[in-house]
Amino acid sequence: MNWPIEIIPDQDILYRRVHINLLQFSHGFDEIPPYAFKDNNGISTEWNKYTTPEESQQRALEPNKNGVIQIKVGFVKQFKYLSVDHAPIPQNRAHSNINGLKPYKKEDQTDIRKRLARMAEWIIKISLTF
Amino acid sequence: MHIEDLNLNDSNLESSWIDELHKYFTTFYKELEETITKILNLQENWDGEGGTRYTKETLYRAAEFVKKLSFVLWRKTQKLISPPNILPGPDGSIDVHWKSTKFDLLVNIPENPNESATFASDDYEKNAVKGTFDQKKINPALFYWLIEFL
């Protein structure tokens, strides 16, 4: 199914999965590491209009090894060149990308990752069992 | 401080300070080594999103940076900075993250040793600093920024 592409309002929420492997390195497990906002041809997220945090978690290859964080669209758009683009795929209407991080200067990318990690919060936490 | 601390003579003071430093750096270095081992053990796609493996060279460069910065800060101020989180970064780089109630500092050490490292920090209010530096040197702006928070 080809879903129509929509504009995502600033007050809406994006979900993003965070793998448990990333949490073993932080001193406090509540902390969201800046790596969570690594740009891999865009930062892949899911729009809360078409999904729930639980559904997002279940779409991971290993759901029990993934937590879910959330961030408000308006927070992302505070950064002048970042955009939040709805990018639905047949099996996931919620799929959306945060685009525009890579063209920033390297030190700005570092700054933005740090700030996005601070603005985000856990919606489904996972416990570390290493 | 305890009342007996007031009676310490110079040699006692020196030895307790050295003990304190020794304890700090031993723990600090041990933690660094443990983190390096954990990151080196990450396999391809460790994050479920195609995450790559990290090289020993990048990790040891990040560790050297942390050791050097902690030492020069101590030498200048006689104060010890708390150990940072050493974290996987994007594209084979390593993130070094200090986060306290006073400041948030992220340093990124790239995989390529000839590429500049980057840093960005703020005090959660209006003061912020960011920049790049040669991986073999400590950036003076970063150094003096950190002194404010020790």
pLDDT tens, A31-83? 899 999 999 999 999 999 999 999 999 999 899 999 999 999 999 999 999 99
Q: What percent of chain B has pLDDT over 70?
A: 91
Residue A58, chain B, CB below 8 Å: the answer is: no
Instruction: Kindly report, residue by residue over B18-36, the tens digit of the pLDDT.
Output: 787 888 888 888 988 999 9
- The residues spanned by each domain of chain B are 9-147
Given CB atoms, is B92 within the 8 Å cutoff of chain A?
no
Partners of A71 in the β-ladder: A14
Asked if B60 and B67 count as a contact pair (C-beta separation under 8 A), the reply is no
Q: Which residues of chain B have a CB within 8 Å of the CB of A19?
A: 46-49, 51
Q: How far is CA B124 from CA A111, B99, B121, B129, B143, in A?
A: 13, 11, 9, 12, 18
Higher pLDDT, B9 or A66: A66
Range of lowest pLDDT (A9-18, B31-40, B120-129): B31-40
pLDDT at residue number A44: 97
**Position A93, amino acid:** R
d(CA A75, CA A58): 26
pLDDT band at A130 (very low <50, low <70, confident <90, very high): very low
pTM of the model: 0.91
Q: What pLDDT score does B24 carry?
A: 83
- SS3 of residue B81 by DSSP: coil
Classify burial at B26, counting beta carbons within 10 Å of its beta carbon; exposed 0-12, middle 13-18, buried 19 or more.
exposed
Residues of B in contact with A106 (CB under 8 A): 108, 116, 118, 132
B132 vs A contacts (CB less than 8 Å): 106-107
pLDDT value of residue B8: 54
Each as own residue / partner, the long-range contacts of residues A78-84 (CB below 8 Å, 24 or more positions apart, any chain) are A79/A112, A79/A115, A82/A112, A84/A8, A84/A14, A84/A45
Which residue, A111, A97, A90, is CA-closest to A8?
A: A97
- For B50-67, what is the mean pLDDT? 95
